[in-house]
Amino acid sequence: MKIQAINGFKDILPDNAGLWRRVEQLARNIFDRFGLREIRMPILEKTELFTRSIGAATDVVEKEMYTFADKGITMRPEATASIMRAFIEHGLHVRQPVQRLYTIGPMFRHERPQKGRLRQFHQLNAEVIGAAEPHVDAELIAMGRMLLDELDLQASLELNSLGCPACRPPFKTDLIHYLEQRLEGLCSDCQRRTHTNPMRVLDCKKTSCRQLVLEAPSMLTALCADCDEHFQAVQGALRNLDITFRLNPFMVRGLDYYTRTTFEFLTTDLGAQAAVGAGGRYDGLIEQLGGPSLGGIGFAMGLERLVLLLEQRDHSEHLGADTTDFALVSLGTTIDAVSLLAHHLRRQGCRAAIDYSGRSLKAQLKQADRARARFALIIGDDEWTRGEAVLRNMRTQQQQPFPLSGSPEQQSQRLAELLRSQPD
Ligand code: HAM
């Protein structure tokens, strides 16, 4: 029987990998403009890291983690907790009090797979640790917006504040009181959440629950003076950067570590999976994990979702680019000379392809075309004897002689110069 990939785990095939690279490169470039530096962490962490940060009563920890129970380790479902673990473990703040970090890589959650939702998915993850100023929140959100803009993707921005340990507990008590009186109208998940994680009820997608929470107490009117001032300043700083947003007091996020500012970038083009990116502030998290009393804010964007949006917008974009500069066509006995020339071309930084099959000229040119080669260089026995190859421009179909004079290295230099002199 054929062995296939696991449900929810997907291959990224070569035709598609270029688009992935483009998004990743642009993200790195933008992160660099904002002064973020890359950090890479292991995929496996102690399970306790996630239960203590994401929260034991969240969907992610309750039902979605890939855990090796006998070893007490888990495949990371997100990157923020791991970054904080590394930050604390290496005392990063000692050398540089404000750490601006990013990481790109796979995450694992055992969710029901559907369009834009996988069990192994990839995130672009950005964090600014050690700065509590509202302008930092706005700058980070603006960075996410810049990435979407430069990818030419439309997404709306929703903003909320989840308060702090001073104002959230009394709000939660009020909310529980409100929900308890309407328990029968809630879905079974929300009936349970009313006592385990009442804020999540505000975020339930079921119509009956959405209807019921419309009149529920709002965190935005329950913020303490400090949180309110912070949130107003974040909004002001966003307006200053010309970033439009909509307040959504029902957005609570699925991870427990958030405080104050939270936000989501939403699209209407991915069916049920509306969030292309999301994040927020987590001011108590580092201390909770045994580190210094420093806050932070960050976000993550789903790479699969970004790539899907780009593909939907332009089906052929990722197929458009040339993949080879020179396809070398050898006919007859010239294969050693041709492979040596290909080797030198690659040393010159050119992309060279070579067909070792000795197939007909027609078949090899067809293959060069399929590989979207810029030029074909034909060196059969006749050309070799004459000391003159045929250089065919695959775009214009025009052919010109190419003298095989000088050493293979010199020939490759002339070909590389010729390539550089061509318009893109
Ligand atoms: P999150 O909302 O769980 O936040 O995930 C962020 C983004 O990852 C989502 O908006 C979505 O684009 C993508 N994503 C999540 N789950 C899946 C999935 N199963 N399949 C495909 N894409 C998915 C976090 O993970 C936080 N760590 C973000 C953060 C960073 N907060 C502060 N710093």
Probe target for ligand 1 pocket from 66, 78, 158, with the most ligand atoms within 8 Å of CB: 78
Write the CATH number for 381.
3.40.50.800
Residue 203 covered by a domain: no
What is the 187 CA–ligand 1 centroid distance (Å)? Answer: 24
Minimum mean pLDDT range among 206-210, 344-348, 363-367: 206-210
Q: Tell me: do 243 and 348 sit in the same domain.
A: no
Tell which one of 20, 123, 304, 308 to mutate to probe ligand 1, the residue whose CB is within 8 A of the most ligand atoms.
123
| pLDDT for the residue numbered 315 | 60
Residue ID of nearest Cα to ligand 1 atom 16:
117
For strands 73-75 and 44-46, give the pairing: antiparallel
Angle, helices 408-420/335-347, rounded to nearest 10 degrees: 50
Domain boundary among 316, 340, 368: 316
Range of the domain at 248: 14-167+223-316
> Residues 292, 357: one domain?
no
| Same-domain status, 309 and 340 | no
66 domain-assigned: yes
Same domain, 269 and 413: no
Nearest CA to ligand 1 atom 18: 117
Confidence category of residue 57, pLDDT binned at 50, 70, 90: confident
Q: In the predicted model, what is the mean pLDDT of residues 283-305?
A: 96
Overall domain count for the chain: 2
Ligand 1 centroid from CA 275, angstroms: 8
Residue 310 to residue 16: CA distance in whole angstroms: 11
Are 24 and 95 members of one domain? yes
Who contacts 141 (Cβ-Cβ below 8 Å, separation ≥6)? 157, 159, 238, 243, 245, 263, 299
Q: Is residue 141 part of a domain?
A: yes
Asked if 256 and 385 sit in the same domain, the reply is no
Spacing, Cα 277 to ligand 1 middle (Å): 6
Q: Is this structure's pTM higher than 0.75? A: yes
Q: How far is the CA of 124 from the centre of ligand 1 (A)?
A: 9
On whether the CB atoms of residues 309 and 319 are closer than 8 A, the answer is no
Q: What is the pLDDT of residues 335-362, one digit of tens each?
A: 999 999 999 999 999 999 999 988 999 9
Q: What is the largest CA-CA distance in the chain?
A: 94
Q: Which segment of 67-76, 206-215, 227-236 scores lowest on mean pLDDT?
A: 206-215
Residues 352 and 325: beta-carbon distance below 8 Å? yes
Nearest atom within ligand 1 for CA of residue 118 = 20
Q: Whose CA is nearest to atom 17 of ligand 1?
A: 117
**Do 368 and 305 belong together in one domain?**
no
Q: State the distance from the centre of ligand 1 to the C-alpha of 80, rounded, in angstroms.
A: 10
Ligand 1 atom with the smallest distance to the CA of 79 is 27
Nearest C-alpha to atom 25 of ligand 1 is from which residue?
78
DSSP 68: E
- Predicted confidence (pLDDT) at residue 332 exceeds the cutoff of 80: no
SS3 state at 76: coil
Residue closest by Cα to atom 1 of ligand 1: 278
CA–CA separation, 165 and 188 (whole Å): 28
> Could you tell me if 130 and 62 lie in one domain?
yes
Structure-token match 């957005």, residue found: 251
92-128: per-residue pLDDT in tens?
999 999 999 999 999 999 999 999 999 999 999 999 9
Q: Kindly state whether residue 387 falls inside one of the protein's structural domains.
A: yes
Q: Please tell me the distance from the alpha carbon of residue 27 to that of residue 33, in angstroms, as a whole number.
A: 10
Summary mean pLDDT of the chain:
94
| Distance of CA 111 from the midpoint of ligand 1 (Å) | 12
Q: Is 361 in the same domain as 238?
A: no
Residue 311 lies in a domain: yes
Residue ranges around ligand 1 (CB below 6 Å) = 78-80, 109, 111, 116-118, 121, 123, 125, 127, 254-255, 275-280, 298-302, 304-305
Question: What mean pLDDT is predicted for residues 362-367?
Answer: 94
| CA 300 to centroid of ligand 1, rounded, Å | 5
**Domain end residue (candidates: 266, 287, 316):** 316
Inside any domain, residue 410: yes
CA distance 254 to 240: 29
Which of 301, 316, 331 is at the close of a domain? 316
Residue 49 lies in a domain: yes
Report how far ligand 1's centroid is from the alpha carbon of 79 (Å).
Answer: 9
Instruction: Return the CATH number at 86.
Output: 3.30.930.10
Ligand 1 atom with least separation from CA of 127: 33
18 in a structural domain: yes
Residue 86 to residue 71: CA distance in whole angstroms: 20
Q: Are 171 and 162 in contact (CB under 8 A)?
A: no
68 C-alpha to ligand 1 centroid (Å): 22
58-68 tens-digit pLDDT: 899 999 999 99
- Whether residues 19 and 126 share a domain: the answer is yes
Ligand 1 center–CA 407 separation, angstroms: 55
Do 283 and 388 fall into the same domain?
A: no
Q: Quick one: 243 and 378 in the same domain? A: no
Atom 31, ligand 1: which residue's CA is nearest? 279
